[in-house]
Chain A
Amino acid sequence: MADTGRDPPLDQSGFQELEDGEDLFPEPASAQESEPASLPAEDISTNSNGPKQETLFDDDPEDLFAEATEEVSLDSPERDVLLSDGPSPAITPITPPTSVITPCISHAHDDMFTHSSFDEIEEEEASDSFDMHISVSDPEKVGDGMNAYMAYKVTTKTSMSLFKLNEFSVKRRFSDFLGLHSKLASKYLHIGYIVPPAPEKSIVGMTKVKVGKEDQSSNEFVEKRRLALERYLMRTVKHPVLLKDPDVMQFLESSELPRAVSTQALSSAGLLRMVNKAADAVNKMTIKMNESDTWFEEKQQHFENLDVQLRKLHGSVESLVCHRKELSVNTAQFAKSAAMLGNSEDHTALSRALSQLAEVEEKIDQQHQDQANADFYLFSELLGDYVRLITAVKGVFDHRMKTWQKWQDSQLLLQKKREAEAKLQFTNKPDKLQQAKDEIKELEGRVQQGERDFEQISKTIRKEVSRFEKERVKDFRTIIIKYLESLVQTQQQLIKYWEAFLPEAKAIS
């Protein structure tokens, strides 16, 4: 049986990376007015993974991409990207498979992509300027026991013509958000778009909620998650390409959503994933890309540095939040002791002053709690979001490397086939010769496609990075302003408290 079009398994990738959406799914596309940059079209039959994988793990192919780990912390080396387990609704391939496209010269392919280029999308976006606000609210526990879950209300307010209504709400659960991210990641990550990562799972947090503990820590957990989901959606829709994705729009608009299934915490195939990650890491080390573009080298280094710095800052803020909570506890205890002192004191004016002191300290305690919340919800979460976002950025750079590798592999194969063909010329095997010529033709097409893919992803990444850097400035500035406003307000409140206390203190004797 001839291995038509199957790549010979390369040593360095014993397990083919399963992340490459292009290997497994027909290229998805949006059916709406504009499309994302055309995705590399590829026949499934050219699936380099092939039966080899399926024979090994045939129990639940759908589950191949479920996360293996439970708690995914900020420190997990590479956050698993959940990929969608099936074609999304309302998806129809728009570009025909490779075999139909006549091989063209690799450069000047803008004509093929201008219709769906990023530039055009940006233009459209500018005219229909971004006016959208999403809020996630009203967490509601649905069901009982371990099958219970939280349902969140997702409300969208927009004047954009993209949507049917100006204001609409739907109910979604956490796995729906994960499902959305998984679909977007499978469609866009491998072609260079920085898909915002979904908030993290937390078995511990959710179990408490399921069990029904209505205590402060489980309330805090739900609140933290609610805000994280809101930020996630806002980041996603701020991306001009993702906003127009049908999955995103369906998520926001439609009242019924098919249940995302591949988000279970534990899965046997998840172990496969972990193994692949290890192989992946080895892979990365051995891909020595001939980087002709220093921009990419610089940027990669820059993101590595930023990652390290942000993690440090995040740790710093966590420590600050901890101390503030401690200060709140200590202040409350001091307030109590001052109240006791005031009660025991005989002298009327002094007793009164001490009681007032206790009241002031109680108010200050409340301030400390509010400040701790501000520290956390503004800074700690912002930094955490960006650390996770950078992981997505790094992933995109990795995909570019893989794309390059694929192109190189095709070129090598083509060369080999040409050499083999040359040899066949001297033998009397006309059908074998024809077969070789056919293979070469196909490979030539593949090589060109590979080069186009590589250029496209490089172009996309440049745009995405620029967008990231602009958004970053906006994001940080907004948060910092909120934080400063809270700081100013706290001090002004404090001034009022002290001004009220001063006459009490003076009246002692």
Chain B
Amino acid sequence: MMEEVKEVTPSLSVHGHSSKVTEVLKDGDTLTFLIVSQKLSGTGEYHVHRTYDDFEWLQQHLFSQEDVPGTQGVIFPPLPAKAQVNASTKVMKQLGFLGLGEWKLYCMALETFLHLVAAHSILSKNKAVEIFLTSPDPPGRQRTRRNIFNRLSQAVEEMRKEGHKDVDEFFQTKRDYNFVLTGCTKNAAERFLDVVLTEQKIATACGHFATALHLCVEPGDDPDKQAFTKICVKLSEVFETMKKNMASVAENDISTLGLGLDLESRYQEAEKEMFFRRTCKLVELETARRNAEKAKPVKKAALEEVRKSAETEFTDICRVAKKEIAEFQAARLVMLQQALVQWCEKQLHTARESADQFNQHLQAFRGMA
């Protein structure tokens, strides 16, 4: 029997994994992002404007994907926290690396989000993605429904389920591992941010010193005065170089390892969310089982149904989760390696450049009579 060749329509009409968030426009307090995506057909591009609320709309739709069983087992690509114009200190702290500089990093993080979504086997099929990337009009605004995907709306009692003991050793191990790793990664990201901020302070201080030196310049024909002036001017150049070096070091830190640690940290949290959903489902299942067992004959059939559906859901989630965990482990290795290699290469380049420049200054001073 000849197999029907099913025509598989690609889920997206664009190369979602290479979409670019190219611009940020400020309109009062709102930030609007310009997203450019290449058509698969190669005939052009889509340019769409989206606000953060639109991103949230997309995420909500991804969460509420009903047609695929076990979506609760998906590790959802993490969306960065909301960015604001004139953000408060609390918001800036929450944003971490993404709040540094003029939104360039934030755009990169949004880009990464879109890439991860478009590359996901299940999520990319969601129509919301296509609409988000191609529709000229902003997608509809939906109030964030209180759902199990939105951790912020979890009631306290439900939070206690997080530590519920697992029935499966594999998952218990993974949960424990995730718990430790999430803490360590968050800590490392925060410490690294501290380092970067101090590097920036030093760059600024060097700049001030360089400027102050120019004030020591003394006019006059006196050879000693001229010699001292020359020293001040040349020293100012040295400190300018120091400033550029520090700024470069900080920039390298932010754009490679900083971003990497930030994404890793948020992705670990996303995995944690997935485990939580699964655990909640496990608790639900155990409750359903107990109820079905204890049920009086009158209710038994109905409760059996409940138990059956809970079991199916749970099995689906576990299946999806296992796949997701494996993919996530592989993906994060690649991502971290890339971050570390790029970081090292950039810092190496900066160090070589700076060594050269400092050496030139040194020779200049040695050569001074």
A353 CA / B227 CA spacing, docked (Å): 50
User: How far, in Å, is B177 (CB) from chain A's closest CB?
Assistant: 7
Please classify the interface of chain A as helix (H, G, I), strand (E, B), loop, or mixed, using the class held by over half of its residues: helix
Please classify the interface of chain B as helix (H, G, I), strand (E, B), loop, or mixed, using the class held by over half of its residues: helix
Contact with B along A286-325 (1 / 0, CB 8 A): 0000000000000000100010011011001101100110
A481 CA / B238 CA spacing, docked (Å): 11
Residue pair A502, B341 in contact (C-beta under 8 Å): yes
Taking a contact as CB atoms closer than 8 A, the residue among B184, B191, B212 that contacts A334 in the complex is B191
User: How far, in Å, is B178 (CB) from chain A's closest CB?
Assistant: 10
Contact with A along B206-249 (1 / 0, CB 8 A): 10110011011010001011011001001100100010000000
Q: Please give, as numbers and ranges, the residues of chain A lying within 8 Å of B194 by CB-CB distance.
A: 330, 333-334
Tell whether B159 is near chain A: CB-to-CB under 8 Å: no
Tell whether A337 is near chain B: CB-to-CB under 8 Å: yes
Residue pair B348, A498 in contact (C-beta under 8 Å): yes
Interface residues of A in 460-476 (CB under 8 A from B): 466, 469-470, 472-473, 476
- Given A473-B228, A495-B355, A499-B348, is A344 in contact with B180 using a C-beta cutoff of 8 Å? yes
Please classify how large the interface on chain B is, using the bins under 10, 10 to 19, 20 to 34, 35 or more: 35 or more
Please classify how large the interface on chain A is, using the bins under 10, 10 to 19, 20 to 34, 35 or more: 35 or more
Q: Please give, as numbers and ranges, the residues of chain A lying within 8 Å of B333 by CB-CB distance.
A: 347, 350, 508-509
Q: Which of B42-50, B136-144, B197-205 contacts A (4 or more CB under 8 A)?
A: B197-205
Taking a contact as CB atoms closer than 8 A, the residue among B192, B238, B352 that contacts A495 in the complex is B352
Residue pair A312, B348 in contact (C-beta under 8 Å): no
Residue pair A317, B334 in contact (C-beta under 8 Å): no
A327 CA / B333 CA spacing, docked (Å): 29
A266 CA / B354 CA spacing, docked (Å): 51
Q: Please give, as numbers and ranges, the residues of chain A lying within 8 Å of B362 by CB-CB distance.
A: 481, 484-485, 487-488
Residue pair A498, B351 in contact (C-beta under 8 Å): yes
Using CB atoms, name the residue of chain B closest to A502: B344
Residue pair A340, B202 in contact (C-beta under 8 Å): no
Tell whether A341 is near chain B: CB-to-CB under 8 Å: yes
Q: Please give, as numbers and ranges, the residues of chain B lying within 8 Å of A483 by CB-CB distance.
A: 238
Interface residues of B in 347-361 (CB under 8 A from A): 347-348, 351-352, 354-355, 358-359, 361
Tell whether B148 is near chain A: CB-to-CB under 8 Å: no
Tell whether B368 is near chain A: CB-to-CB under 8 Å: yes
Residue pair A313, B216 in contact (C-beta under 8 Å): yes
Residue pair A508, B195 in contact (C-beta under 8 Å): no
Residue pair A330, B352 in contact (C-beta under 8 Å): no
Tell whether A25 is near chain B: CB-to-CB under 8 Å: no
Q: Please give, as numbers and ranges, the residues of chain B lying within 8 Å of A336 by CB-CB distance.
A: 191
Tell whether B83 is near chain A: CB-to-CB under 8 Å: no
Q: Please give, as numbers and ranges, the residues of chain B lying within 8 Å of A506 by CB-CB distance.
A: 337, 341
Residue pair B206, A337 in contact (C-beta under 8 Å): no
A189 CA / B334 CA spacing, docked (Å): 72
Residue pair B231, A476 in contact (C-beta under 8 Å): yes
Tell whether B345 is near chain A: CB-to-CB under 8 Å: yes
Tell whether B122 is near chain A: CB-to-CB under 8 Å: no
A344 CA / B180 CA spacing, docked (Å): 7
Contact with B along A343-357 (1 / 0, CB 8 A): 011110010010001
User: How far, in Å, is A315 (CB) from chain B's closest CB?
Assistant: 9
Interface residues of B in 173-188 (CB under 8 A from A): 177, 180-181, 184-185, 187-188
Q: Please give, as numbers and ranges, the residues of chain A lying within 8 Å of B365 by CB-CB distance.
A: 477, 480-481, 484
User: How far, in Å, is B192 (CB) from chain A's closest CB?
Assistant: 5
Residue pair A312, B212 in contact (C-beta under 8 Å): yes
User: How far, in Å, is A262 (CB) from chain B's closest CB?
Assistant: 36
Tell whether A331 is near chain B: CB-to-CB under 8 Å: yes
Residue pair A327, B198 in contact (C-beta under 8 Å): yes
User: How far, in Å, is A472 (CB) from chain B's closest CB?
Assistant: 6
Tell whether B340 is near chain A: CB-to-CB under 8 Å: yes
Tell whether B366 is near chain A: CB-to-CB under 8 Å: yes
Residue pair A472, B228 in contact (C-beta under 8 Å): yes
Q: Please give, as numbers and ranges, the residues of chain A lying within 8 Å of B359 by CB-CB distance.
A: 488
A337 CA / B193 CA spacing, docked (Å): 12
A162 CA / B366 CA spacing, docked (Å): 32
User: How far, in Å, is A337 (CB) from chain B's closest CB?
Assistant: 4
User: How far, in Å, is B259 (CB) from chain A's closest CB?
Assistant: 15
Q: Please give, as numbers and ranges, the residues of chain B lying within 8 Å of A345 by CB-CB distance.
A: 181
- Given A337-B184, A340-B187, A509-B333, is A502 in contact with B358 using a C-beta cutoff of 8 Å? no
A403 CA / B308 CA spacing, docked (Å): 109
- Given A350-B336, A506-B341, is A330 in contact with B191 using a C-beta cutoff of 8 Å? yes
Using CB atoms, name the residue of chain B closest to A326: B198
Interface residues of B in 43-78 (CB under 8 A from A): none
Q: Please give, as numbers and ranges, the residues of chain A lying within 8 Å of B341 by CB-CB distance.
A: 502, 505-506
- Given A323-B198, A473-B228, A498-B351, is A340 in contact with B184 using a C-beta cutoff of 8 Å? yes
Taking a contact as CB atoms closer than 8 A, the residue among A313, A337, A485 that contacts B191 in the complex is A337
User: How far, in Å, is A475 (CB) from chain B's closest CB?
Assistant: 10
> Which 8 pairs between the two chains have the least Cβ-Cβ distance?
A491-B355, A508-B337, A469-B224, A505-B340, A334-B191, A498-B348, A484-B362, A337-B188
Residues of chain B at the chain A interface (Cβ within 8 Å):
177, 180-181, 184-185, 187-188, 191-192, 194-195, 198-199, 201-202, 205-206, 208-209, 212-213, 215-216, 218, 222, 224-225, 227-228, 231, 234-235, 238, 242, 329, 333-334, 336-337, 340-341, 343-345, 347-348, 351-352, 354-355, 358-359, 361-362, 365-366, 368
Q: Can you offer 5 A-B residue contacts whose CB atoms are under 8 A?
A: A306-B216, A323-B202, A330-B198, A481-B362, A505-B337
A353-B337, A473-B228, A487-B358 are known; give 12 further A-B pairs, CB within 8 A.
Answer: A302-B218, A320-B206, A334-B188, A340-B184, A341-B185, A345-B181, A469-B224, A469-B228, A480-B365, A491-B355, A502-B341, A502-B345
